[in-house]
Amino acid sequence: MIDPALSGLDDHQLEAVTTLRGPVVVLAGAGTGKTRVITHRIAHGVDTGAYSPSRVMAVTFTAKAAGEMRGRLRALGVEGVSARTFHAAALAQLNFFWPTVARDTAPGIVDNKVRLLAHAADGIGISPDVATLRDVASEIEWRKVTMRSIDQYAAARPNGVGRLEVGKVVELQRAYEKLKDQRRQLDFEDVLLACAGMLEAEPHVAASVHEQYRHFTVDEFQDVSPLQYRLLELWRGDRRDICVVGDASQTIYSFAGADARYLLDFADAHDDARVVRLETNYRSDAAILAVANELMRGRPGALELTAAGSGTPTPAPEPRETPEVTGYDDDVDEARGVAAQVAARIAAGVDPRRIAILYRAHSQSAELVRALARHEIATTVLGGRRFFDMPEVRQAVMALRGASVAPLETGFADAVRDVLRSLGLTNEPPQAGGALRDAWEARAALLRLAEESPPGTTLRGFTDELQARAKAQHEPGMRTVTLATLHAAKGLEWDHVHLLGFAEGLLPISYATTFEQVDEERRLAYVGITRAGRTLSLSWSRGTRERQPSRFLREIGSGTLRAGGARASTGAASSRARSGSGSGSAAGSARPR
C-alpha cells in the first residue's frame, strides 16, 4: 500500500519527505507547502518505523503554528510527537528537572515585563514613560537572545533608549534583574537561558534529554536567534537526524536577534547535509510571483518562485489581474481609494475573509477602518484582541457551556443559535465600524462553527472544541476584511491583498538607514507581496511631507507592475518617470549589491 504521507507531493516535496536520516535543510519559499512537508516527513518517518513519535521534537516559533502542526499530524494518524515552541519545550524541561536539580519548585514566570520594569524604575528614582519602558523591555530581550551580558550590551548599544542615556538603561536593567530575582521569577528569555544552563551544568539532565529525543525538526529556521541555536545544539547533542526548514527572504526579525546565517550556512556546517529547494508556489498567481522575484533578485538565499502549473497548456480557470501600483495625494485619499477597491470586490461577490489590507505600522490602520466603515465593511485588525479573549466570546462560551447541561429541545445548531440570540445576535448586522458590529461578527462566527460541525456533534462537545481552539489559538474566521501589519501577516494568506504605504519613510521605514536595515524592510515587503493569491494592489501617497514612492517600486520596475486607477496620474506612473525608471525595465540602479 502507498504511504498516505507520500500522496499529493511534488518531486521536491517528496525528496524532502523521504530523506529521513542525517542533516537536511529544506529551503522553502513562500507558498511552497512548507508545513505540509514538515508534517508529512514526520508522519512518513513514523509510518516506516524510522521514527518513534515520542522520540521526535518538532520546534516552531508560535503556539498557533505548533497547534497547527499537531493538528496536521493527528490528521495523518500520528500522536505523541512533541511539537512545541522553543519556549514551551524549554519550560516543560525546566518544570520537570528543576525539583531534582535545585531541590525546589521552579520559579514563576513574569507575566508583564513592562510592569516589572516600571517597579524597578521606581526603585532607582526614575520615571520613564510607557513607550520607553517597552523599548527597554525589547532591549532586554535582544540582549538575552544574543547572549550578551549587561556590560556587553552597553558596549554594543551605546546610544541609550529614548531620553534615557545608556548609563541609565544599564542601571534600569540591573534593577530589573535584581527585582526579578527577589520575586523568584524568570522572564521568557530566562526560560531559554536557564534551560541551556541546566543542560550544560547537569550531565544527567543532558543525558536524559538526549535519550528522549533522537529526531529534530525546526521550522522557520531563518528566525533562530543565537540563544535558540545554542539551546537546539544542547538538545541535539551528537544526534545527526535534524531537519531545518526556512526561507532567508522571510527573515523579518533581525531587530529582535534572529540570524538567517544559521540557515544560509547550514550546509557548510554539516558536510553531509542534504539540501532540498522548494520553489513551486501553490498560493500565488504567476504575475504576483514575478513581482516578488524581482524585489528579491540577487539577495542572499533568494529563491526563484514559479507558479504551480505554469508552462502547461491548460489555461487558467479565470482571467488574472496584473499587479498594480497607484499613487495618491494624501493618506486619507489613499485609505478611501483602497476602501473603494475593497467595496467593489465585495459587491462582485468576493468573501470579505479573502481580502486583506497590509501596512508597515499600526498607526496606518485607523484611517482605513474609518474609510471601510463608510462602505459598511467590517474589519478585523490583527494584533488586537484575540478572538477567544473578546468579552462577547467568553460570555457566549460560558452560556453555551451552561446550556449543555440541560436537555436539548431543539437540534444542536438551533440550540447554539438560540443561546447566541439571547446574547444579542440578530439576523442583520449593525452598522460597521463600532464595537457592536465587532461583537455581532464574533457571535456570527461561533454560529457558523456550529453549523459547520460534523453530524452528531453535541453542545457539550462543541464547547469542548471551542476551549481546545482557544488553547491552540485556532481562531475561526470572521466575515470581515483583515487589516494587519506586515509582521503580523507572516504565515497567512488571502486571495486579494492590498499593500498600502509603499513610500519612502513608511516602506522602508524612516529609521531604516543602514544597508542591513533597508534589506530587512525589503524582506518585509516581500512577505506582504507573497501573502497574495489572486490579486495584488500596491499604493502610496505623498502626504504632507511630500513623500517619494518607495525605492522598492523602482527595483521591481514597471515590467511587472501596471499603473492603476484614475489617481495614478499623481502617483506611480509619473513618479517612475520623474525618478528615471524606464518603461519595462527593472530600473535596478537603486538596488545595492
pLDDT digits (tens, 9 = 90+) for 39-89: 999 999 999 999 999 999 999 988 888 988 998 999 999 999 999 999 999
Q: What is the mean pLDDT of residues 185-207?
A: 95
| Residue 428: per-residue pLDDT | 82
For residue range 290-327, what is the model confidence (pLDDT) as tens digits?
999 999 999 999 999 999 876 544 444 455 678 999 99
Written as one string, the DSSP assignment of 304-315 is --EETTTTSSSP
User: Is a pLDDT exceeding 90 seen at residue 220?
Assistant: yes
Residue 460's pLDDT is 87
Average pLDDT across the chain, whole number: 87
pLDDT surpassing 80 at residue 592: no
108 is an annotated ligand-binding site residue? no
Query: What would the mean pLDDT of 451-470 be, rounded to a whole number?
Result: 85
Name all contacts of 347-355 with Cβ < 8 Å and 24+ positions apart: 350/495, 350/496, 351/479, 352/377, 352/378, 352/479, 352/480, 352/481, 353/477, 353/478, 353/479, 353/480, 353/482, 354/494, 354/495, 354/496, 355/481, 355/482, 355/494, 355/495, 355/496, 355/497, 355/498
Report d(CA 416, CA 453) in Å as an integer: 12
d(C-alpha 462, C-alpha 366), whole Å: 35
- The whole-number pLDDT of residue 295 equals 95
Collect all residues with Cβ–Cβ distance below 8 Å to 146 and sequence separation of at least 6: 225, 226, 227, 257
pLDDT at residue 252 is higher than 60:
yes
102 pLDDT higher than 90: no
pLDDT band at 434 (very low <50, low <70, confident <90, very high): low
Phi, psi of 468, rounded to the nearest 5 degrees:
-65, -40
pLDDT given at position 588: 32
- Give 93 or 592, the one with higher predicted confidence: 93
Write down the pLDDT at residue 584: 33
Half-sphere CA count of 549, side-chain side, radius 13 A: 27
Distance CA 412, CA 390 (A): 24
Q: Residue 389 has which C-alpha cell?
A: 479573549
| Residue 335 known to bind ligand | no
Check residue 406 and give its pLDDT: 73
List, for residues 392-412, the tens digit of each pLDDT value: 888 888 888 888 877 776 678
Is residue 120 within 8 Å of 128, Cβ to Cβ?
no
Query: Cell numbers at residue 355, please?
Result: 481580502
Does the annotation place 34 within a ligand binding site? Answer: yes
Does 29 show up as a binding residue in the annotation? yes
327 is in an annotated binding site: no
3-state secondary structure of 137: helix
Is 287 within 8 Å of 560 (Cβ atoms)? yes
Instruction: Say what the pTM is.
Output: 0.83
pLDDT at 387: 78
Is the confidence at residue 576, as pLDDT, over 60? no
What pLDDT does 309 receive? 74
| Residue whose C-alpha is closest to residue 198's, from 291, 335, 92 | 92
Q: Which region among 143-157, 331-345, 358-372 has the lowest average model confidence (pLDDT)?
A: 358-372
Residue 28 assigned ligand-binding role: yes
Cβ burial, residue 403 (10 Å; 0-12/13-18/19+)? middle
- Res 590: pLDDT: 33
Local confidence band at 564 (pLDDT 50, 70, 90 cut-offs):
low
The answer to whether the annotation marks 513 as part of a ligand binding site is no
- % of the chain surpassing 70 pLDDT: 91
Distance of CA 309 to the CA centre of its chain: 27
Q: For residue range 136-151, what is the model confidence (pLDDT) as tens digits?
A: 999 999 999 999 999 9
Of the candidates 448, 446, 427, 429, the residue with the CA atom closest to the CA atom of residue 373: 429
CA atoms within 13 A on the CB side of 238: 1
